[in-house]
Amino acid sequence: MSEDNTNIAIVNSSTFGIYFPDLMQRLKKIGIVERITVDPQISGRELAVKLKGFKFVIASVTPNFTSEFFQYNKDVKLIARHGIGYNNVDIKAATESGVMVTKVLGIHERDSVAELAIALILICLRQIIPANKAVKENKWQDRRSFVGDEISKLTVGIIGYGNIGSRVAEIVKEGFGSKVIAYDPYIADKVIEKTGVTPVSFEELLKTSDVISLNASLNEGNYHFINKSAFDLMKNGVVIVNTARGELINQNDFIEALESKKVSAAGLDVLEEEPINPNNPLLKYPNVYILPHIGGYGKYSLRKMDEKMVEDIEKQIKGEIPEQIVNPEVIEKNITQFKGRK
């Protein structure tokens, strides 16, 4: 560890600095940089010990920075989330401990995640994966088994109409000509209507959508809100795509919906437990296409994300305030640190 405590930990990120070594070199000019991989379920106290002596943390979607972590670690001053979600950080505890938490600007991941959502929708509707598998197994004659649905003839429901959800809607509506409906309790109906999309209630979306794209951020009100009650309202043969957060779906109820054929296919880039347990029953369903959380893994997106992490650390060292602070209250708490703009 360096004596001036400008040590930087890159925790559980498999991509930061890998594709853009110039940004890693820029980070190394600040202090000693160390990659640290921990069990996603590591306790707060154990994590606190692991990160002893580090002032800056570039954090992936795991592990969880709990109140216990902040209780036992007083060295970390900045947690920069290498993504747009921050539900793995106890914001209240971070603020009380004077730790700033920042995140990536949503626009940086917008196209990358939205395009992956579209890809998953098409995979589900057109049976692309099994058709390709048949060719590799010399079963060309099976092509008559791979009749799919045209997205242009379907109603697509968007749950969560923020940066990413609105882009999914735009691509589907403008690119394919589909009917698009949307539900977002935090965005005014007039805002949605201006984009040419019809705002509807949660129940109406579930009842009328042929395809449902989950693009909502995780909060206390929507944990497992795609549950048995929700599936019961859906059309038979509905397609579900989730590129948001795995915790939005109750897995047991989801499996029941798959067994009953209520859900005909699903594309999942996120799961409640990541990485997936090899014994997870979802792995047995050939019509469930699971990806290892690669929504933001576009080259443009990754570079912007990496740049944001470096800029956050550079600004804090200079006494400036980074962009996209999750807990701005911490600025007042640590006001003496900041001599730049307010």
Nearest Cα to Cα of residue 91 among 73, 74, 75, 79: 79
- Which residues are paired to 81 by β-bridges? 59
150 is catalytic: no
- Which residues are paired to 263 by β-bridges? 238
Q: Which of 115, 274, 311, 314 is catalytic?
A: 274
- Token pair, residue 286, equals 């050939």
CA-only gyration radius of the chain, Å: 22
Q: What is the C-alpha separation between 227 and 143, in angstroms, rounded?
A: 34
Q: What is the C-alpha separation between 138 and 127, in angstroms, rounded?
A: 17
Could you tell me which residues come within 8 angstroms of residue 282 by beta carbon, excluding any fewer than 6 positions away? 251, 254, 255, 268, 271, 276, 288, 290
User: What angle do helix axes 21-28 and 299-318 make, rounded to 10 degrees?
Assistant: 10
Q: Which of 82, 108, 167, 245 is catalytic?
A: 245
Q: Which of 82, 110, 167, 293 is catalytic?
A: 293
303 is catalytic: no
DSSP conformation letters of 205-248: HHHH-SEEEE-PPP-TTTTT-BSHHHHHHSPTTEEEEE-S-GGG
167 is catalytic: no
User: Which residues have a catalytic role annotated?
Assistant: 245, 274, 293
